[in-house]
Amino acid sequence: MQLSSIARRIAVGGLVVLTAALGLVVLDRPAPVSAHGSLTDPPSRNYGCWARWGSDFQNPHMADTDPMCAQAWQANPNTMWNWNGLYREGVAGNHQAAVPDGQLCSGGRTQNGFYASLDTVGPWVAATKPDKFTLTLTDQAQHGADYLLIYITKQGFDPATQPLTWNSLELIQRTGRYAPAGQYQAQVDAGTRTGRHVIYTVWQASHMDQSYYLCSDVIFTGQGGGGSTSPSPSRSTSPSPSVSVSPSRSTSPSASIPAGSCAASYAKTSEWNGGFGATVTVTAGAVGISTWTVKMTFANGQTVSSFWNANLTTSGSTVTATNASYNGRMSPGQSTSFGFNGTWSGTNNPPALTCSAQ
């Protein structure tokens, strides 16, 4: 063994002893595995945890506001850093034999249990969806897809209290092939489902016998709607007695969207003592757009602490959000969304919104 390697192990060992003595938790940030892919809308469990907390993964408030992600980070941070690598090989299409009940979200504890924390039963943060929506899978490696199998839990099943099984799912759609690209989308109809559900997606990659098993938590509103092209996580339950959900909405002033422009709507998805979560939905007008910018002006001193699916900057009371690399281009009438967590004190009114596009 090289001396540098020995020295590194001694240093790491000393750090472990020190942090244990001080009662601290230190999470290393390793490099992710070579890119593959995952569900990004609605977000898979580990992609959602990475999107919400990857830039703030040592925040102690995660345990109070996002407890399922907190236990996943504690169990193995690599589950999130490698959000795009949850697959098994050589299944030959026999998915139910390869993945046991109770282990669906980890792909049958694939890769020696690397993703086991995703099987944990509880109130995972869920994306709010209408009964008709667009499912988006991001394929960073452009493997292509032989097919997607899209399942949704049966009405009456509660994923917050029951382990996910094959019998709790209904196959909604088997797609055709997708040529290699950066994203694959499918139009999904959830029927009459309402409330909390899990969307379970099996992505059979085309480049080899490689199967991805992806759990996405959603709350169906029971209302019809169009699609969206990026994750829109929302906190659907109060994670602690001090949390109360107090939805409020704000919309950019123009009800009709001019050609080449966009509209933005704001929804506060959760609120607790000193903090809150929110989602902003951006909709293209009658002409498609390639980029968008949303400005949010808060009147009560609110600040943003973490965000996902957009690039955010702050100047005084105004927060400016610009599209990420994957959700700026939209067809006429198409929507996408981004989310953030923030802090507040005293009053937490919605911000004033403006939306511009090119």
Q: Which two tokens stand for residue 346?
A: 């005293």
What pLDDT, on the 0 to 100 scale, is given for residue 35?
Answer: 60
Calculate the alpha carbon distances from 271 to 50, 78, 123, 245, 343 in Å: 21, 29, 16, 5, 9
pLDDT at 141: 87
Which token pair is 269? 């998805």
Please indicate, yes or no, whether residues 129 and 223 belong to a single structural domain of this protein: yes
Contact yes or no for 169/207 (Cβ under 8 A): no
- 183 with 269, same domain: the answer is no
pLDDT of residue 358: 87
Do residues 222 and 286 share a domain? no
Residues whose CB falls within 8 Å of the CB of residue 135, separated by 6 or more in sequence, listed in order: 39, 41, 42, 148, 150, 185, 186, 187, 188, 199, 201
Kindly state the tokens that stand for 299: 């009147």
Both 130 and 38 in one domain: the answer is yes
Res 267: pLDDT? 85
- Measure the CA–CA gap between 99 and 96, rounded to whole angstroms: 5
Does residue 270 lie in a domain region?
Answer: yes
What pLDDT does residue 249 have?
A: 45
Whole-model pTM: value is: 0.60
Residue 14 falls within a domain, yes or no? Answer: no
Q: What range defines the domain where residue 325 resides?
A: 249-357
The whole-number pLDDT of residue 256 equals 67
Based on the fold, state whether residues 314 and 286 are members of the same structural domain. yes
Last residue of a domain, one of 205, 234, 263: 234
- Whether 15 is covered by a domain: the verdict is no
Domain count, the chain: 2
Cβ pair 231, 266 in contact under 8 A: no
Please report the pLDDT score of residue 115 as a whole number.
97
* 203/306 same-domain check: no
> Which run of H or E residues covers position 6?
helix 3-22
As to burial, measured by CB atoms within 10 angstroms (0-12 exposed, 13-18 middle, 19+ buried), residue 72 is: buried
Are 60 and 174 members of one domain?
yes
Q: What pLDDT is stored for residue 303 in this prediction?
A: 92
Does a structural domain hold residue 8? no
Shared domain check, 198 and 62: yes
**What pLDDT was estimated at residue 191?**
94
Residue 138 lies in a domain: yes
Where a domain ends, among 204, 234, 264?
Answer: 234
Residue 2 located in a structural domain: no
pLDDT computed for residue 224 by the predictor: 66
Query: Looking at the structure, do residues 174 and 267 belong to the same domain, yes or no?
Result: no
The residue ranges of the chain whose pLDDT is under 70 are 1-35, 224-256, 269
Query: What residues have CB less than 8 Å from 210, skipping those under 6 apart?
Result: 87, 88, 89, 143, 204
Tell me what pLDDT residue 167 has. 97
Whether residues 159 and 255 fall in one domain:
no
Q: Tell me if 193 sits within 8 A of 155, measured CB to CB.
A: yes
CATH number at 68 reads 2.70.50.50
> For position 286, which CATH number holds?
2.60.40.290
Provide the pLDDT for residue 261. 87
The reply to whether 144 and 257 lie within a common domain is no
> Tell me, what's the pLDDT at 225?
55
Same domain, 176 and 68: yes
Distance of CA 270 to CAs 37, 56, 218, 342, 343, Å? 29, 19, 15, 10, 12
Residue 167: inside a domain: yes
pLDDT value for 307? 79
Please report whether residue 244 resides in a domain: no
Residue 151, strand partner residues:
171, 200
